[in-house]
Amino acid sequence: MQTSSPSPATSGIPWSALARLIRLPNQTGTYLLLLPTLWALVLAARGLPQPSLLAVFIMGSFLMRSAGVILNDLADQSFDRKVARTKTRPLASGELPRGQAFALLAVLLLLAGSLLLMLDPIVVWLAPMAVLLAALYPFCKRWIQIPQAVLGLAFGWGSIMAWAAVRGQLDAPVWCLFGATAAWAVAYDTIYALQDRDDDRRIGVKSSALFFGPFIHVGVGTAYCMMLLLLSAAGWLVRISWPYYVTLLGLALFFVFQTKQLRSPIDPPQAFAMFRAHVWVGVAVLAGLLAGLLA
């Protein structure tokens, strides 16, 4: 009895490995990239933005985050093999050839670039910086003590592009959102880096979790304060109403709670849970913006 074999068209593409390469099962990073762009869209539009802009930035966030993690894994392949949490990633384990990763990266960037055709021309001029920051970030782990700051700039650049897409120009409030997003990323990614602190120290990778050392609660707490101050400044500049500031007060209490947690030893599962909670921080800011603008 003959059995049919899979066709080359389907058997030659390692779909499972490609899905894991872009972290398809875990979209926390996409949400953390998307939410600041939604803050900017809402604040620039002073309410609900156009559905078409929402669609473009939702899709763009997914595509650019997916491209970003491929760039990260290509740059960190040799490091990832030496870290318990990352050694099973498709590139680190050898399951996926680098050529296929580059091919998927090219497709993602092409699709993301095509979205720019639907936006104001100023956004096209701003877009290359997003790619540059995404490509630069993985290498900063070799060069600077707080590479999370560069990640923050990369994630914050989406808010710059979103504001420009609505207004066709860049105004003072968006730079406050940009700075707030950068500070926020330093805070939550420092918590995320606690998962790999011992491995990073062993292999020589730099991170804010190592740099802050026993004063990690001070470093993260300072980043939280900067985020709240800059978000307050953005609201003041657009004369937003009181519900927004009530939201920020609630977030301040949550940040105090997390900062106190960091005074004690944090194991990897706890660090990951604390990191994932920041999706709801971003949602809370978005809800506060909407409430403050529509009140």
Q: Is residue 260 pLDDT above 60, yes or no?
A: yes
Tally of structural domains, the chain: 1
Could you tell me which of 279, 275, 292, 177 has the C-alpha nearest to residue 228?
177
Q: Is residue 72 pLDDT above 60, yes or no?
A: yes
Q: Give the length of the chain.
A: 295
More confident residue, 35 or 4: 35
More confident residue, 11 or 189: 189
Residue 179 in tokens: 């700075």
Q: Is residue 4 pLDDT above 90, yes or no?
A: no
175 is in which domain, residue-wise?
A: 26-294
Confidence class of residue 82 from pLDDT cuts 50, 70 and 90?
confident
Could you tell me which of 58, 77, 93, 70 has the C-alpha nearest to residue 24?
70
**Domain annotation covers residue 9:** no
What CA dihedral angle connects 260, 261, 266 and 272, to 10 degrees? -120
**Domain annotation covers residue 19:** no
Q: What is the CATH number of the domain that holds 87?
A: 1.10.357.140
Q: What is the pTM of this model?
A: 0.91
**Domain annotation covers residue 12:** no
Question: What's the pLDDT at 77?
Answer: 86
Question: What's the pLDDT at 119?
Answer: 92
Quick: pLDDT tens for 157-182: 999 999 999 999 999 999 999 999 99
Quick: pLDDT tens for 6-40: 443 445 788 999 999 999 999 999 999 999 999 99
Question: What's the pLDDT at 198?
Answer: 85
Least confident of 64-73, 79-88, 116-125, 190-199: 79-88
Quick: pLDDT tens for 127-148: 999 999 999 998 888 889 999 9
Q: Is residue 99 pLDDT above 50, yes or no?
A: yes
Contact 282, 32 (CB under 8 A): yes
Q: Is residue 290 pLDDT above 70, yes or no?
A: yes
Quick: pLDDT tens for 111-128: 999 999 999 999 999 999
Quick: pLDDT tens for 223-248: 999 999 999 999 999 999 999 999 99
**Domain annotation covers residue 99:** yes
**Domain annotation covers residue 6:** no
Least confident of 8-17, 217-226, 255-264: 8-17
**Domain annotation covers residue 203:** yes
Quick: pLDDT tens for 192-202: 999 988 888 88
**Domain annotation covers residue 7:** no
Question: What's the pLDDT at 120?
Answer: 92
Mean pLDDT score, 186-208: 90
**Which three-class secondary structure string do you get for the chain?**
CCCCCCCHHHHCCCHHHHHHHCCCCCCHHHHHHHHHHHHHHHHHHCCCCCHHHHHHHHHHHHHHHHHHHHHHHHHCHHHHCCCCCCCCCHHHHCCCCHHHHHHHHHHHHHHHHHHHHHCCHHHHHHHHHHHHHHHHHHHHHHHCCCCHHHHHHHHHHHHHHHHHHHHCCCCHHHHHHHHHHHHHHHHHHHHHHHHHHHHHHHHCCCCHHHHHHHHHHHHHHHHHHHHHHHHHHHHHHCCCCHHHHHHHHHHHHHHHHHHHHCCCCCCHHHHHHHHHCHHHHHHHHHHHHHHHHHC
Question: What's the pLDDT at 141?
Answer: 85
Question: What's the pLDDT at 2?
Answer: 43
Work out the percent of the chain whose per-residue pLDDT is above 70: 96
**Domain annotation covers residue 4:** no
